[in-house]
Amino acid sequence: MKISNAEREQFWPELPYPAWRPTAETLHMWMQIVGKVRLTLSPWVNHSWHVTLYLTSRGLTTSPIPHELHTFEIRFDFIEHELRILKSNGAVRVMALEPQSVAAFYDKIMSVLRELGISVTIDTMPNELADATRFEADESHRDYDPESANRFWRVLLQSDRVFKEFRARFCGKCSPVHFFWGSFDLAVTRFSGRVAPPHPGGVPHLPDSVAREAYAREVSSLGFWPGNAAMPEPIYYSYAYPEPAGFASAKVLPPEASYSAQLHEFTLPYRTVRTAESPDDVLLTFAQSTYDAASTLGGWDRQMLEEASLHPPQRIRS
């Protein structure tokens, strides 16, 4: 799909991490708070699929969360810049997304949930961050720039759309396209169907048992990550666990993709995708090429996992 320069700025905007770092770090903590509400009240699903957020046409959502005989949903709206909490009895509460400390945001959302009759106590230590402050004590992260948050959402929205096209090519077990608030990335993961060796663990503020359960089966995972202070470059990534012999030296496309020995994954700069004549084609090429390397070198049963006859009939267009 070729795009014009005007479409590029609208749908694939620039997202230089240093320019929006204060907002990114605050938003990361707000999303962890919301995500932990879903984590605490939801039944456990393999690979921690019960904790994630999902893209919407306005932002991100928890999807319905069970609470006693009701359900409720928490939605980030990056157009109106509001947090909406909707309960199945018709009750609605709205919080403004505006500059405020993580501690203030935590206090407000817990208070609103109590107003709605939703009793929940979460672990207030952020996950997957080496240098973390408990939510109720975090007064340093307090920035929120609406334009930056909207740009981030627009990048996620396009990535989600292309990832879903890539996901549709696979017949084996595959995750939804979902947003992990711990690592702050959008991902979709394919499974070979075989048991993997125990994961070594060691993720900051994440129990080793959670990491080992998440990687209990062989995977090839594709994702988008906006960067952080140590690596301020938004990227697409693809990795395999366990990493098969020869994966690091595999020839993948497009040429701008490279293997990171530090991350143990192939990466592709977001700028390469957004500036391409057809961002969709470049991203799908990266997704397919890295999966081809992981599945071929890993000896996956690709005929079973990609058998064309298992796909549903093509949609009939009028």
- For 28-58, what is each residue's pLDDT tens digit? 999 999 999 999 999 999 999 999 999 999 9
Q: What angle do CA 300, 301, 305 make, to 5 degrees?
A: 105
Given a cut of 80, whether residue 222 has pLDDT beyond it is yes
Distances (CA, A) of 191 to 168, 175, 240, 250, 289: 14, 8, 10, 20, 16
Residue 80 parent element (H or E): none
Q: What is the mean pLDDT of residues 259-286?
A: 98
- pLDDT score at 317: 56
For the chain, the structural domain boundaries read 19-137, 146-305
Query: Which structure tokens are listed for 3?
Result: 């795009």
Torsion of Cα atoms, 134 then 135 then 136 then 137, to 10°: 50
**Widest distance between CA atoms in the chain:** 58
Q: What is the mean pLDDT of residues 304-311?
A: 74
Q: What is the mean pLDDT of residues 4-31?
A: 97
Q: What is the mean pLDDT of residues 115-127?
A: 97
Task: Kindly report the length of the chain.
Answer: 318
Distances (CA, A) of 128 to 40, 61, 202, 255: 17, 21, 10, 31
Over the stretch 243-269, which tens digit does the pLDDT of each residue have? 999 999 999 999 999 999 999 999 999
The percent of residues above 70 in pLDDT, for the chain, comes to 97
Name 133's Cβ contacts closer than 8 Å, sequence gap at least 6. 102, 126, 140
Peptide bond into 99 cis (omega under 30): no
Q: In terms of pLDDT, which residue wins out, 90 or 311?
A: 90
Given a cut of 60, whether residue 97 has pLDDT beyond it is yes
Minimal CA–CA distance to 31: which of 130, 102, 100?
Answer: 102
Q: What is the mean pLDDT of residues 117-132?
A: 96
- pLDDT score at 306: 87
Reduce the DSSP state of residue 70 to 3 states and report it. Answer: strand
Query: Which structure tokens are listed for 178?
Result: 């979902």
The Cα 210–Cα 212 span in angstroms is 5
Contact 165, 151 (CB under 8 A): no
Q: Give the confidence band of 238 by pLDDT, cuts at 50, 70, 90.
A: very high
Q: Give the confidence band of 311 by pLDDT, cuts at 50, 70, 90.
A: low
The percent of residues above 90 in pLDDT, for the chain, comes to 95
Q: What is the mean pLDDT of residues 140-154?
A: 98
Q: What backbone phi and psi angles, to 5 degrees, belong to 123?
A: -75, 120
| Mean residue pLDDT across the chain | 96
Q: Give the confidence band of 1 by pLDDT, cuts at 50, 70, 90.
A: confident
The Cα 299–Cα 216 span in angstroms is 17
**Burial of residue 69, with CB atoms counted within 10 A of its CB: 0-12 exposed, 13-18 middle, 19 or more buried:** exposed
Residue reference for tokens 């006859």: 309
The Cα 104–Cα 142 span in angstroms is 9
Residue reference for tokens 């125990």: 198
Beta-bridged to residue 65, according to DSSP, are: 72
Q: Give the confidence band of 308 by pLDDT, cuts at 50, 70, 90.
A: low
Q: What is the mean pLDDT of residues 196-210?
A: 96
Given a cut of 70, whether residue 318 has pLDDT beyond it is no
The Cα 47–Cα 53 span in angstroms is 14
- pLDDT score at 309: 59
Q: Give the confidence band of 307 by pLDDT, cuts at 50, 70, 90.
A: confident
Reduce the DSSP state of residue 231 to 3 states and report it. Answer: coil
- pLDDT score at 316: 57
Given a cut of 60, whether residue 133 has pLDDT beyond it is yes
Q: What backbone phi and psi angles, to 5 degrees, belong to 302?
A: -70, -30
- Sign, CA dihedral 137-39-183-263, equals positive
List helix spans (H) across the chain. 5-11, 17-41, 102-115, 146-167, 208-214, 270-274, 279-297, 302-305
